[in-house]
Amino acid sequence: MNMLLRIAFMACAMALTAMSGLAQAADRKGDDTAVSVAVGEPLQAAQELLQARQYKAALAKVAEAEKAGSISPYERYMIDRMRGSAAVGAGDTAAAIRSFEAVLDSSFLPAADRTAMLEALARLNFSARHFPATIEAVQKYKAAGGSNPTTLEILPQAYYLGQRYAEAARELERLMAASDAAGKAPSEQQIQLLASCALKQGDMDAYVSALRRMVTYYPSEKHWLDLVLRTANRSGFSDRLSLDVYRLRQHTGTLDSASDYMEAVQLALQSGFPGEADQLIKQGFKSGLLGKGQAQDVNRQKRLQELVQRKISEDKATLAEGEAQAERQSTGDALVNTGQNYVAYGQYDKGIALIRKGIAKGGLKRPEDARLHLGYAQYLAGQKDEASRTFATVKGADGSRDLAALWILLCRRSA
């Protein structure tokens, strides 16, 4: 309402400034912009009452002016303009809309004032939930050169509330493109509305795209969890990448239950990375999600922790031998796996070098996975720029490319 009042008062002040002198008005025959004393005096009184925020009294004075004999087209224009301003302050939206529509239809409206009138009309219609009229007013406002961002943002909202979701999404994309071009971040409300448009249309690809924008500009654990789970649940996503999903959740702070940690630890053990399993279970206990609750659950968690320690002892005893065997293999898979194992123990340089050597050796069963895991190793080593470049090379259509895209977002945030 404050914005509407500002626009309405500005419009009213411009109109009064444009009025001919009242004392001479009656004698200025042939002047189609002359205002008679009978009309002008109550309008001036209405202006003073507006400035004093006595809106209903101002409307009464406008009504008095309207009763003054024969009213010229110009006087009608002045009355409509003043009544619109007073009606805004009085909260009479319907009267304000009718008045400003009449003003816009008048040939006496200066071109310089048109955008202010259209802006007021757009906001009034939006507040009245007249969405088709809002859309028309904002489109005319844009065509007239209007550029107030808060007014332009009304358009996609009006489309959305009018259940025109595809048009709302297109308008939001245009607004965001303009923000990108200006080097500005889109508003959180814009991204939320875009995501809602996607859901309303059942377009999960568009929804995931909106979530990516959200974690880019307004990251939160809630948005990250939604994004990671939506990505992992998309059609064609391979179960083979389940541990990679948990890795991403670990580093976005979205492992939020004991079952999450237990599943992640077991997957790390099954994949042959007891060092990674150890990191996960320690984090689970430190977070308080493990080690609490019913006795049978706590016992199971402690047994798993003991198993992890046994596996670490066994693994470290054969780690060097496994590396040597990997060097002798004709393909690079064993080198990649051994490198990942060293990374899990915190030996990043050695692990990354082995993964690189395995990729270079070739013959990989799943080369896209190898690049994904190289990027992950680089991320853990703090090499965020290098990791981003590696993740950008992952092209697997089974989910590895989608996960890599999320890691790139995380790398940028961390940087």
Tell me if 208 sits within 8 A of 231, measured CB to CB. yes
Q: Give the number of domains in the chain.
A: 3
- Residue 389, domain member (yes or no): yes
78 plus 108 within the same structural domain: yes
Select from 93, 127, 161 the last residue of a domain: 127
Number of alpha carbons in the 13 Å side-chain half-sphere of residue 130: 15
Q: What is the pLDDT of residue 28?
A: 45
> Which residue positions in the chain have pLDDT lower than 50?
18, 20-29
Short-list 109, 97, 160, CA closest to 133: 97
Residues spanned by the domain of 356: 219-414
Select from 167, 197, 218 the last residue of a domain: 218
- Residue 302, domain member (yes or no): yes
Reading the block at residue 168, the tokens are: 């709302």
Dist. CA 160–CA 164, nearest whole Å: 5
Q: Counting beta carbons within 10 angstroms of the beta carbon of residue 70, is it exposed (0 to 12), middle (13 to 18) or buried (19 or more)?
A: exposed
Reading the block at residue 110, the tokens are: 């200066």
169 plus 249 within the same structural domain: no
Q: What is the pLDDT of residue 51?
A: 86
Please tell me the chain's helix, strand, coil percentages from 3-state DSSP, rounded to the nearest 5: 75, 0, 25
- Residue 76, domain member (yes or no): yes
HEC assignment per residue over 60-79:
HHHHHHHCCCCCCHHHHHHH
Which CATH number covers residue 374? 1.25.40.10
- Residue 283, domain member (yes or no): yes
Dist. CA 268–CA 265, nearest whole Å: 5
Dist. CA 320–CA 350, nearest whole Å: 12
Q: Residue for token digits 């309303």? A: 200
- Residue 40, domain member (yes or no): yes
- Residue 132, domain member (yes or no): no
110 plus 251 within the same structural domain: no
Select from 166, 195, 218 the last residue of a domain: 218
- Residue 163, domain member (yes or no): yes
Reading the block at residue 222, the tokens are: 């809630």
41 plus 102 within the same structural domain: yes
362 plus 268 within the same structural domain: yes
205 plus 289 within the same structural domain: no
198 plus 94 within the same structural domain: no
- pTM equals 0.83
- Residue 142, domain member (yes or no): no
207 plus 273 within the same structural domain: no
pLDDT (tens digit, 9 = 90+) per residue, 98-117?
999 999 999 999 998 899 89
Reading the block at residue 4, the tokens are: 């509407």
Q: What is the pLDDT of residue 70?
A: 85
Q: What is the pLDDT of residue 306?
A: 97
229 plus 214 within the same structural domain: no
104 plus 18 within the same structural domain: yes
188 plus 224 within the same structural domain: no
274 plus 181 within the same structural domain: no
The residue type of 36 is S
pLDDT (tens digit, 9 = 90+) per residue, 286-322?
999 999 999 999 999 999 999 999 999 999 999 999 9
